[in-house]
A and B are shown apart, each in its own frame.
Chain A
Amino acid sequence: DTGVSQDPRHKITKRGQNVTFRCDPISEHNRLYWYRQTLGQGPEFLTYFQNEAQLEKSRLLSDRFSAERPKGSFSTLEIQRTEQGDSAMYLCASVSRVTDTQYFGPGTRLTVL
């Protein structure tokens, strides 16, 4: 257990539905990252927050995706009008100022039917 939690751990939804995932980072970590991992691939960067500011977004993050980090604490990732291609593991990581190490949560596995 790295101290980063994600909820839910699994989500099954029908195409066209909206889903929202939550990430709770380690409390003193000011930076938070979202990644997506598909079967047989390494994680790919989606977006990055420093405190509450979203500083970078990948081109992978289409208009259907939105992420927030109100008050610089937990973060949410919402996918609107889900498509089958959105099926993946969504990973969250928070970063220690001291060690510059990314600590990953267990991930949310999304299945779009």
Chain B
Amino acid sequence: AQSVTQLDSQVPVFEEAPVELRCNYSSSVSVYLFWYVQYPNQGLQLLLKYLSGSTLVESINGFEAEFNKSQTSFHLRKPSVHISDTAEYFCAVTRGTSYGKLTFGQGTILTVHP
């Protein structure tokens, strides 16, 4: 079985500051990793994913995450945040051998202040 721990339940930052949302996972098998974002009153949207290949993956809106197998981490970073990045972010994992159900972390609420 897999598990995901998001180390921060809330992260407040000022606009244009850098941010890191931390995610650690536990699994006895290889995994695929995901970050989903949930804007207020909206559904979950895929932000980025790691399946294989380069351990650094990027989203279209400036977020990036790095898969670190030795530290079992998949932290999400952005060098400069905007007010519009305010949302809840979920890290998720699934077995890497056969894509299937997602196991989610508890979520991190990112609040960007002007």
Contacts and interface: CB of A to CB of B under 8 A. Distances in A.
Contacts of A105: 43
B44 A45 contact: no
A95 B92 CA distance: 15
Contacts of A103: 46
- Of B45, B49, B92, B102, most buried by chain A (CB within 10 Å of CB) is B102
Contacts of B36: 104
A40 interface: yes
Given A40-B106, A42-B107, A48 B100 contact: yes
Interface residues of A, number: 23
A35 B106 CA distance: 14
A44 B92 CA distance: 11
Given A45-B102, A48-B101, A2 B107 contact: no
A53 B3 CA distance: 26
B65 to A, nearest CB: 15
B90 A42 contact: yes
A41 B106 contact: yes
A38 to B, nearest CB: 11
Contacts of A48: 100-101
A69 to B, nearest CB: 15
A43 B102 contact: yes
Interface string B21-51: 0000000000010001000001111100101
A101 B46 contact: yes
Interface in B47-62: 49, 51
Interface string A26-39: 00000001010000
Interface of B: 4, 6, 9, 32, 36, 42-46, 49, 51, 90, 92, 99-107
Interface of A: 2, 4, 33, 35, 40-45, 48, 56, 91, 93, 95, 100-107
